[in-house]
Amino acid sequence: MNQNKSFEKGMDVVWTRGKGCLELAGILGGDEADKIKGSLEDACIERRADLLVSRRLPGNFDLVNVAVPVDFQPEKVTSVVAAVGGGPHSLLAAETAESIGRALGVPSEMVSATSPDDDSGEAGVLLDQLTVEVPDLSSRVVEVDGIAELVEDLDDGALLVLGAPGGTWLQRNMFGPGARLRRTAHAGAVVVRSAPDRVFRFMGEPVYVASLRHADDTLRIHEQKTLAVADEGILVGLVRRERLLAAGNSPVGTVMEDAVSVRVDETLEEAEVLTPTFGPDPIPVTDHDEHLVGALSLPVS
């Protein structure tokens, strides 16, 4: 599982008030894009959002991927260029550029810019790696002396998509002394920042049994080897199939063990530590009040 899951299925997009946010959210999420009301975190989890379109990068917020329009002029866009530099957001920049280009019906590409002192071979390797993930996006390496030269190299009507500030040469130029130049991209720019894959984006409906249900009835209804036990929406325990087989007509609650779950806002990496406990069976997902809100199935190697 990785972030491009969202682009394959059509992104669930939420957006905040700000110049260009409604327009960009509509392009990336269509009519289903929702404006956020109330808590940013609650809205993203409730909507199971893949992407937040915001007027600025929201501090340390990392629940979902973020896209920020800068002087975005969609009516002027005739091409989309993802500027990638090997940073953690390069894949998201490439995917976003491809998605915008497809939605607007204009060409899209990714460009890796190097300075004369850099090894252009490394840029080529990066593009080859990204092409595996975004095969419909054309690519090229350009050697430039400064960010202004890169912007000047863009076609009229080009929309520039790039990752948030980082340590690469491209990003230092774009957000350091040359920050103003990103606004000279002919149709504006979109700045993206990727976030870890989190449980709420991938979970399904809860899978559980009530603690008062008889063990033999549970065996007829459920095939899981490890099953969540819940009462009135609260996760209260786990029950294993071998214990149900020995329990006969007794209630599930008499043979259950302590509850184990993953939080709705934890990362998939954090959830993977429970794979030995659940195997292919769904892992119960809870909110911070122990309400059972979903179930997460992870591939078992």
pLDDT of residue 301: 61
**CATH architecture of the region 5-195:** 3-Layer(aba) Sandwich (3.40)
CB 39 within 8 A of CB 47: no
One DSSP character per residue, the chain reads --TTHHHHH---EEE-SSTTHHHHHHHHHGGG-EE--S-HHHHHHHHT-SEEE-SS--TT--SSEEEEEES--GGG-SEEEEE--SSTTHHHHHHHHHHHHHHHT--EEEEEEE-TTS-HHHHHHHHHHHHHHSTTSEEEEEE-SSHHHHHHHSPTTEEEEEEPS-SSHHHHHHHTTTGGGGGGSTT-EEEEE----BHHHH-BS--EEETTSBHHHHHHH---SEEEEEETTEEEEEEEHHHHHHHTTSBGGGT-B----EETTSBHHHHGGGHHHHTTSPEEEE-TT-BEEEEE-----
pLDDT of residue 181: 43
pLDDT of residue 169: 43
CATH domain 200-296 topology:
CBS-domain (3.10.580)
Mean pLDDT by 10 residues, the chain (301 residues): 45 93 95 92 94 92 94 93 87 95 95 74 87 93 70 81 66 45 69 95 96 96 96 97 95 97 97 94 96 92 61
User: What are the boundaries of each domain within the chain?
Assistant: 5-195, 200-296
pLDDT of residue 146: 61
Q: What is the percent of the chain with per-residue pLDDT over 70, rounded to a whole number?
A: 85
pLDDT of residue 289: 95
